[in-house]
Chain A
Amino acid sequence: MGMKKLKVTIDGKTIEVPENTTVLDAARMLDIQIPTLCHHPKLTPFGGCRLCIVEIKGIPRPVTSCTTPASDGMEVTTSSPQMEDLRKTVLELILSDHPNDCMVCEKAGDCTLQELAYFYGIRENRFAGERRIYEKKDGNPFLERDMEKCILCGRCVKVCDEVQGVGAIDFTYRGFKSKICPPYEKDLNCEFCGQCVAVCPTGALTGKQWSLRGRQKDIKEIDTICPYCGTGCNITLHVRRNDVVRITSREDTWNEGWLCVKGRFGYKFINSPDRLKKPLIRITPKKDTGNRGYGDTEKNFTHSPIHPFTVSSNFREVSWNEALDYIAERLNDIKSKHGADAIGGLSSARCTNEENYLFQKFMRAAVGTNNVDHCARL
């Protein structure tokens, strides 16, 4: 059963597209640029910003290309003096209710609205008027919401509902007073996954930790894998002067650009002074502080530099070779005295599947025990 193909002509170029393709997607297949603000390829079409309007032969008024399904024989014009004029009016209207403080905005240089204002050459605003003024209130350590910069494109609402399945925010009020906020305008109290931040096309939603750490133009992007769990999401570190200032994820990865609160915001450990960078071996205290009633421990662990029941906070920094040798020696010791089943291994959900495979292999083949488990099984 073959998919029905539809022939669409856009700006004189013809393309065959499958059913349920929108006019916008068809245009993008043809590499025809149509400006958008509220559209996001992973979210259901919205049709609110009105920038992607096009003329379609036979339809008396402009329609939004992001919401209109292509049909066979459709003839589309994406740009005409009237369309560009309408887009300019729409942009001016958006900017008439915007702080326009790009000079101090975190998002400058990486902001769709700023880009469009540049391309449409909007300087004077014919429609200047009242602007919405809101107090900022964000008790949480992750998200910074500056609702005066919000253009009500609805992307955050949809990602929260459609992708995250949380629905922490929605549109409220009507008319010019419309805004997006949690129920009853309370402070945000969600999972703080930051998906909304990821899809916001303006500086309305940003990460608190990003503030004043560097704008996008100074950033070097480094793709890697999130270290937190075995899901292994693709992440991109935004690095400025060897300092991770932000983490994002690309849309063309298997996790489609979506991340959780840890992957997106939990990166402070990277430059934490408490972070362990080399192996440590605990040093045995010089003198035992007394009999703890566990028998003659000294006799059993004569080779041990550590008294096993003494809590010591003294460590010695060692090389990986020394640390591994030490572990091997101790494991062999235990195995020879008490048998392999005296040893058990617990691996981590933070490791990759491959690492976990190797670990169980090590326990079974090298150590010789089936005492192996994994913290995620709990």
Chain B
Amino acid sequence: MNKSITIQVCMGTGGMAAGGSEVLDAFESLMREKNIPAEFKKECSMHKVGCRGLCARDVLVDVIADNRRTIYQYIKPEMVERIVDEHIVGGNPVSEWQVDEDYHKFHEKQVKVVLSDCGNIDPEDINAYMAVDGYKAVEKVFASMTPEEVIDMIKKSGLRGRGGAGFPTGVKWEACRKAEAGQKYIICNADEGDPGAFMDRAVIEGNPHAVIEGMIIGAYAIGASKGYVYIRAEYPLAVERLKKAINVSRERGFLGKNIFGKGFDFDIKIKLGAGAFVCGEETALIASIEGQRGMPRAKPPFPVHRGLWGKPTVINNVETLANIPYIIKKGHEWFSSYGTEKSKGTKVFALTGKIKNSGLIEVPMGITLREIIYDIGGGIENEKALKAVQTGGPSGGCITTGMLDINMDYESLAKVGSIVGSGGMIVLDEDDCMVNVAKYFLQFTQSESCGKCVPCRIGTKRLLEIMDRITKGAGRQGDIELLEKLSNDIKAASLCGLGQTAPNPVLSTIKYFREEYEAHLQGKCPAKACNELLTYHIIEEFCKGCGACLRACPAGAITGEKKKPHTIAPEICIKCGACFDVCKFKAVGKE
């Protein structure tokens, strides 16, 4: 008979969307109904936890019975009763609902620092955080460290900004510490805007107190009495949990006047962003907090000298700040034992695209791409061939199959024309057209350009127009060279990081997939993804004359008698691909 039972239900945004709160409700009502804690004299607790990484398998439920953890996947409310009856009451885990080998392989090569408590503790319970040594780092700092010692430790740890640029955090803090001013600020940048990146959201949803603790330590180090978390309003759950966490921290005296009784004042305000990508750029973010339109300004002066309201300001990304308490607690030697010579520690990546196990992963810097794709990610979906991996989102570049053994760190990725960025990692397979992929990212950056500077506002529009005509078969001779020329000029002349990196997907796909661009100029899309360049036809020997394509065709382009091969009239065909998708006999060809 089990003496204790803990039930953890994954309730990040992914878990909630899959029905996490209904699952937790089901556990709570069934356990009450069956009077389990009393009947079996068990220590019983049920709570939500943050993201576990493998969101595709949600709702994930952990049942810990006498320290033995059983992990269930794809749990729905109606499945809860059987778990309660067989596992909790009967003591026999429901084996067919448990996670498989893949789940364990997904976690095997990961090293969790930032995410170490995320997914294990109730993010809305400060006691849960304190039970895993939460707020011990800030206690240690106040008890025994000067601000200079804190900065020194962060410098020695080698921690670099996780938001994209990879600037050494300790150096940034030191510059701000040295800036003379009556008022300083620390800002947590939670304006995660890259398409396909969701690590900051997961960290705040899963362990908001770690971010708050990191901010308190940063504030102490630089001498700031006020902090802001700039977070997008599209992250309602993260905002709600952060709000709760800030309020309860304030009640405990961790925020406010004379915190921890050490004569140091520090408090945090939340500022909601309206979701503009450019507000992730620090000067635009500052403008937005000040109530201005989110538009970047030229640097220098840098925010550490002239930032929010003209005062010295440190802006750190969520993941960067969440690393701080762990570095303080475990020491810089421990932290820098992970990673490569110049990129220390771990990095959270959002692994998405055509990969079997998509989700959030935390790996030591310097791990190879091959390990991420094949060991953690479990390889490519549907037995397709890997084509490339886009890292760094719309500001990054692609890495090809020939470079799978590249180390995932700042320097190595920069060398091949990509970036770590905020950690987006989109896996592409043989069906993806690289020209089209680059065009997609360009569409994003163009529509998110703030409009302030000419190269970004008009330049990316012109790039997009050229890309668009190439994918539509209207490309002109010299377009590839024109793309390169314009891309390089935009990079050199743009005001902020958005424009300076926006052409990266174009340049990197031209660099590694130039032949695909050339094929488009010849009117062919090798990946068969660009509709305007395709023609659909019926392969007679495979066609059974079932009529499925005929019924599916919205343009009436397909004719044919029953049980005889059909035909597609190319002049009527609108190339929507409906016939291709619906044919069970692979009798529709596209070229």
Q: How far is the CA of A96 from the CA of B458 in the complex (A)?
A: 8
Stretch of A48-56, A236-244, A274-282, A329-337 on the interface side: A48-56
Determine how close the nearest CB of chain A comes to the CB of B314; give it in whole angstroms: 21
Q: How far is the CA of A5 from the CA of B462 in the complex (A)?
A: 44
Beyond A93-B459, A175-B448, is A130–B492 a contact (Cβ under 8 Å)?
Answer: no
Chain B residues positioned under 8 Å from A174 (CB to CB): 276, 278, 447-451
A44-78: CB near B (< 8 Å → 1, else 0) gives 01111110010000000111100111000000000
Chain B residues positioned under 8 Å from A97 (CB to CB): 458, 461
Q: Are B455 and A175 in touch, CB under 8 angstroms?
A: no
Q: Are B495 and A50 in touch, CB under 8 angstroms?
A: yes
The verdict on A90 contacting chain B, using a C-beta distance below 8 Å, is yes
The verdict on B452 contacting chain A, using a C-beta distance below 8 Å, is yes
Q: How far is the CA of A176 from the CA of B443 in the complex (A)?
A: 11
The verdict on A171 contacting chain B, using a C-beta distance below 8 Å, is yes
Q: How far is the CA of A47 from the CA of B492 in the complex (A)?
A: 14
B285-321: CB near A (< 8 Å → 1, else 0) gives 0000000010101101100000000000000000000
The verdict on B354 contacting chain A, using a C-beta distance below 8 Å, is no
The verdict on B454 contacting chain A, using a C-beta distance below 8 Å, is yes
The verdict on B482 contacting chain A, using a C-beta distance below 8 Å, is yes
A150-174: CB near B (< 8 Å → 1, else 0) gives 0110100000000000000011011
Q: Are B457 and A61 in touch, CB under 8 angstroms?
A: no
Chain B residues positioned under 8 Å from A63 (CB to CB): 298
Beyond A69-B300, A86-B489, A90-B493, is A176–B450 a contact (Cβ under 8 Å)?
Answer: no
Chain B residues positioned under 8 Å from A154 (CB to CB): 452
Q: Are B459 and A68 in touch, CB under 8 angstroms?
A: no
Find the B residue at minimum CB distance from A59: B300
Q: Are A175 and B298 in touch, CB under 8 angstroms?
A: no
Q: Which of B460, B482, B489, B500 has the most CB of A within 10 A?
A: B489
Q: How far is the CA of A48 from the CA of B496 in the complex (A)?
A: 10
For chain A, give the interface size range: 35 or more
Chain A residues positioned under 8 Å from B485 (CB to CB): 89
Q: How far is the CA of A178 from the CA of B297 in the complex (A)?
A: 17
Q: Are A129 and B455 in touch, CB under 8 angstroms?
A: no
Determine how close the nearest CB of chain A comes to the CB of B86; give it in whole angstroms: 55
Q: Are A48 and B453 in touch, CB under 8 angstroms?
A: yes
Beyond A89-B493, A171-B295, A174-B447, is A152–B452 a contact (Cβ under 8 Å)?
Answer: yes
Beyond A86-B492, A97-B458, is A170–B448 a contact (Cβ under 8 Å)?
Answer: no
The verdict on A323 contacting chain B, using a C-beta distance below 8 Å, is no
Determine how close the nearest CB of chain A comes to the CB of B260; give it in whole angstroms: 39
Q: Are B461 and A50 in touch, CB under 8 angstroms?
A: no
Q: Are B298 and A89 in touch, CB under 8 angstroms?
A: no
Q: How far is the CA of A53 from the CA of B492 in the complex (A)?
A: 10
The verdict on B578 contacting chain A, using a C-beta distance below 8 Å, is no
Chain B residues positioned under 8 Å from A67 (CB to CB): 297-298
Determine how close the nearest CB of chain A comes to the CB of B415; give it in whole angstroms: 16
Q: How far is the CA of A170 from the CA of B301 in the complex (A)?
A: 24
The verdict on A127 contacting chain B, using a C-beta distance below 8 Å, is yes
Chain B residues positioned under 8 Å from A47 (CB to CB): 297-298, 452-453, 495
Q: How far is the CA of A63 from the CA of B300 in the complex (A)?
A: 9
Give me 29 A-to-B residue pairs in the complex whose CB atoms sit less than 8 angstroms apart, sorted by A's number.
A48-B453, A48-B495, A49-B453, A50-B454, A50-B455, A50-B495, A67-B298, A86-B489, A89-B485, A89-B493, A90-B454, A94-B458, A126-B486, A127-B462, A129-B462, A129-B465, A130-B461, A130-B465, A154-B452, A170-B293, A171-B452, A174-B448, A174-B450, A175-B446, A175-B447, A176-B458, A176-B461, A177-B451, A178-B449
Q: A90-B493, A171-B293, A174-B448 are in contact. List 18 more A-B contacts (CB 8 A).
A: A46-B452, A47-B297, A47-B298, A67-B297, A93-B462, A94-B458, A96-B458, A97-B461, A126-B482, A127-B459, A127-B462, A171-B450, A173-B451, A174-B451, A175-B446, A175-B447, A176-B451, A176-B461
Interfacial residues, chain B to chain A (CB-CB below 8 A): 276, 278, 293, 295, 297-298, 300-301, 446-455, 457-462, 465, 482, 485-486, 489, 492-495, 500
